[in-house]
Amino acid sequence: MSVYFPHTDSDIEQMLAFVGVPDTDALYSEVAPELKCGKLSLAPGLSESEVIARLKALAAENKTYNSVMRGGGAYRHYIPEIVNETASKSSFLTAYTPYQAEMAQGVLQAIFEYQTYIARITGMEVANASMYSAANAAAEACLQSFKPGFKILIAASIRPDTMAVLRTYLDGKNIEYEVLAAENGILEPETLVKSLSPKVCAVYAEQPAYSGGILDLKALTEAAHRVGAKFIAGGNPLAYALLPSPGEAGADIAVGDVQPFGLPTAFGGPYAGYYATTKAGVRKMPGRIVGETTDRLGRRAFVLTLQPREQHIKRERALSNICSNQALCALRASVYLAAMGGKGLRRVAENCYKAAHFALKEFEEAGLKRVYEADFFNEFVTLCPGKSDKIEKALAENGILSGLKLDGDTMLWAFTELNGAMDITLAARIMKEVI
The count of domains in the chain is 2
Does residue 291 sit in the same domain as residue 303?
A: yes
pLDDT value, residue 99: 72
pLDDT value, residue 416: 97
Does residue 280 sit in the same domain as residue 397?
A: no
Question: Domain of 163: which CATH number?
Answer: 3.40.640.10
pLDDT value, residue 1: 42
Q: Give the span between the Cα atoms of 374 and 181, in whole angstroms.
A: 15
Query: What length is written for the chain?
Result: 435
pLDDT value, residue 4: 47
pLDDT value, residue 7: 55
pLDDT value, residue 310: 60
Indicate whether 41 belongs to any domain: no
Question: Domain of 403: which CATH number?
Answer: 3.90.1150.10
Does residue 248 sit in the same domain as residue 367?
A: no
On whether the CB atoms of residues 370 and 346 are closer than 8 A, the answer is: no
Nearest Cα residue to 369 out of 353, 354, 385: 385
Q: Give the span between the Cα atoms of 198 and 212, in whole angstroms.
A: 31
On whether the CB atoms of residues 93 and 102 are closer than 8 A, the answer is: no
On whether the pTM is more than 0.75, the answer is: yes
pLDDT value, residue 64: 86
Q: Of 285, 308, 337, which closes a domain?
A: 337
Across the chain, what does the average pLDDT equal? 91
Low-confidence ranges of the chain (pLDDT < 70): 1-8, 95, 307-313, 323-325
Does residue 304 sit in the same domain as residue 388?
A: no
Does residue 266 sit in the same domain as residue 390?
A: no
pLDDT value, residue 130: 85
Q: Of 337, 355, 375, which closes a domain?
A: 337
Indicate whether 190 belongs to any domain: yes
Q: Is 178 left (phi over 0), alpha (psi -120 to 50) or beta?
A: beta
Indicate whether 223 belongs to any domain: yes
Does residue 177 sit in the same domain as residue 284?
A: yes
Does residue 202 sit in the same domain as residue 320?
A: yes
pLDDT value, residue 2: 46
Phi and psi of 246, rounded to 5°? -55, -40
pLDDT digits (tens, 9 = 90+) for 217-242: 999 999 999 999 999 999 999 999 99
CA angle 350, 351, 352 (to 5 degrees): 90
pLDDT value, residue 324: 66
pLDDT digits (tens, 9 = 90+) for 108-137: 999 999 999 999 999 999 999 888 899 999
Does residue 251 sit in the same domain as residue 291?
A: yes
pLDDT value, residue 366: 96
Does residue 218 sit in the same domain as residue 355?
A: no
Indicate whether 246 belongs to any domain: yes
Domain that holds residue 389: 67-77+342-434
